[in-house]
Amino acid sequence: GQQLNQSPQSMFIQEGEDVSMNCTSSSIFNTWLWYKQDPGEGPVLLIALYKAGELTSNGRLTAQFGITRKDSFLNISASIPSDVGIYFCAGLEGAQKLVFGQGTRLTINP
Amino acid sequence: DAGITQSPRHKVTETGTPVTLRCHQTENHRYMYWYRQDPGHGLRLIHYSYGVKDTDKGEVSDGYSVSRSKTEDFLLTLESATSSQTSVYFCAILAHGGGELFFGEGSRLTVL
């Protein structure tokens, strides 16, 4: 099956810093999604992208659907303690199946 | 809250024993999924269902079977559990089109 390569695998930042992470694929996806997982819970959808080149914001989060359809980026501005967690990219494959990246674990030092 | 309940939430079992995890939804969604989460691997699809008695394999289906006899319930069975199946298992539903999944809270399975 398809694989998504997500980087970095972990990040340690200071509160207030901006965060950038990305996801690449060897194959094309027509939909990219970003999820966040808090400790002990299931992932929750942050942003969905449906069009190549699309740039979408959700509060301090901004995500982009790469023009090649093989990558996506997520940025978090002015990080706060509640941003801590694991961030997953996902690509929609075929009939409603999601393929996930390995995740980026974000740790914030106050 | 997408009305998803997983049970049990925690289970410890021994190698070779059968295990069944249950996912229950209250909102009559057609698509349901079982993923496992392991460090360094993210979420990997085990099986999914697109209707009653309609199921298909995901990328890591070996050693697992599923059943969906009612719209609201999707069962994941490990016929003979192995230590490599120690993991956190997540059920998800497709509440809207376009890949927007809602996940349950997870079931942590430890196989000794």
> Which of B35, B44, B98 minimises the CB distance to A92?
B98
Q: Is B90 close to A6, i.e. CB distance below 8 A?
A: no
**Secondary structure in 3-state letters for B63-104:** CCEEEEEECCEEEEEECCCCHHHCEEEEEEEECCCCCCEEEC
How many beta carbons lie within 10 A of that of residue B94, not counting itself?
21
Residue B10, C-beta contacts closer than 8 angstroms, at least 6 positions apart? B107, B108
Q: Does B95 touch chain A (CB under 8 A)?
A: no
> Which of A6, A9, A97 minimises the CB distance to B48?
A97
Chain centroid to CA A27: how far? 17
Chain A residue numbers with beta carbons less than 8 Å from the beta carbon of B58 are: 97
Task: Average the pLDDT over A77-91 and give the result.
Answer: 96
Q: Over 60: is that where the pLDDT of A100 sits?
A: yes
Task: Average the pLDDT over A52-60 and give the result.
Answer: 95
Amino acid at B2: A
Q: Does A97 touch chain B (CB under 8 A)?
A: yes
Q: Over 90: is that where the pLDDT of A93 sits?
A: no
Q: Does A94 touch chain B (CB under 8 A)?
A: no
pLDDT band of A110, cuts 50, 70, 90:
confident
Task: Average the pLDDT over A23-37 and give the result.
Answer: 94
Instruction: Compute the mean pLDDT over every residue in chain A, rounded to the nearest whole number.
Output: 93
Q: Does B45 touch chain A (CB under 8 A)?
A: yes
Q: Which residue has the higher pLDDT, A1 or B21?
A: B21
Q: What is the pLDDT of residue A3?
A: 77
Q: What is the pLDDT of residue A57?
A: 95
Task: Average the pLDDT over A61-82 and give the result.
Answer: 96
Interface test with A, best of B88, B100, B105 (most A CBs within 10 A): B100
Distance in Å from the first CA to the final CA of chain B: 33
Chain B residue closest in CA terms to A36: B103
Q: Are A3 and A99 in contact (CB under 8 A)?
A: yes
Tens digit of pLDDT at every position of chain B (112 positions): 568 999 999 999 999 999 999 999 998 899 999 999 998 888 999 999 999 999 999 999 999 999 999 999 999 999 999 999 999 999 999 987 777 899 999 999 999 9
B44/B31 Cα distance (integer angstroms): 16
Q: Over 70: is that where the pLDDT of A95 sits?
A: no
> Which of B97, B101, B104 minimises the CB distance to A98?
B101
Q: Which of residues 26-55 of A touch B (CB under 8 A)?
A: 31, 33, 40-45, 48, 50
Q: What is the pLDDT of residue A7?
A: 96
For chain A, percent of residues with pLDDT exceeding 70: 97
